[in-house]
């Protein structure tokens, strides 16, 4: 296990110095599950994923993309990054769950894991917000990084 990179020698928080790192293509994919329940899912399917507030899926995708671009404003020690690509997919996973997947790409000195995780999280919160008039018994879970490429280390969840 390596040292925590966001702490200096005195234990104070710091932004990681990436000045010496090479710029490379970097990509991260994250996913999460939102359980809306069978009744809400049935209504979503009947209403073509629309609610009183509009298209649930399209609104959540836009919100997730916006959040990806603002990750460094939300997480204190994240580097601001130029996002070269972001795609969010929301699909029915089970008869009561939606699966949200976010893929983010950049060319830079640091990875986009936090951006992908933020995209999934804000998309899920947007689904919750748009459906809470139908039920508050909605659960967001299993938000996780699936893959990370580029830089000195790579990751693939097995």
Residue 136 to residue 122: CA distance in whole angstroms: 17
Residue 126 to residue 48: CA distance in whole angstroms: 17
Residue 129 is a catalytic residue: yes
Handedness of CA 73, 112, 127, 47 (dihedral sign): positive
- The values of phi and psi at residue 112, to 5°, are -120, 30
Q: Which two tokens stand for residue 103?
A: 């893929």
Write out the catalytic residue numbers: 129
């Amino acid at each position: 296990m390596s040292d925590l990179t966001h702490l200096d020698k005195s234990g104070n928080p710091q932004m990681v110095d990436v000045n010496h790192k090479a710029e490379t293509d970097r990509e991260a994919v994250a996913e999460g599950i939102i359980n809306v329940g069978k009744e809400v899912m049935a209504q979503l399917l009947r209403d073509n994923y629309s609610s009183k507030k509009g298209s649930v899926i399209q609104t959540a995708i836009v919100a997730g993309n916006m959040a990806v671009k603002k990750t460094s404003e939300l997480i204190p020690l994240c580097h601001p990054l130029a996002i070269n690509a972001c795609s969010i997919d929301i699909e029915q996973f089970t008869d009561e769950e939606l699966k949200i997947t976010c893929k983010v790409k950049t060319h830079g000195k640091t990875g986009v894991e936090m951006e992908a995780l933020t995209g999934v999280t804000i998309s899920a919160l947007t689904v919750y917000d748009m459906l809470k008039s139908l039920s508050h018994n909605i659960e967001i879970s299993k938000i996780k990084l699936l893959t990370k490429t580029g830089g000195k280390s790579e990751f693939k969840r097995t």
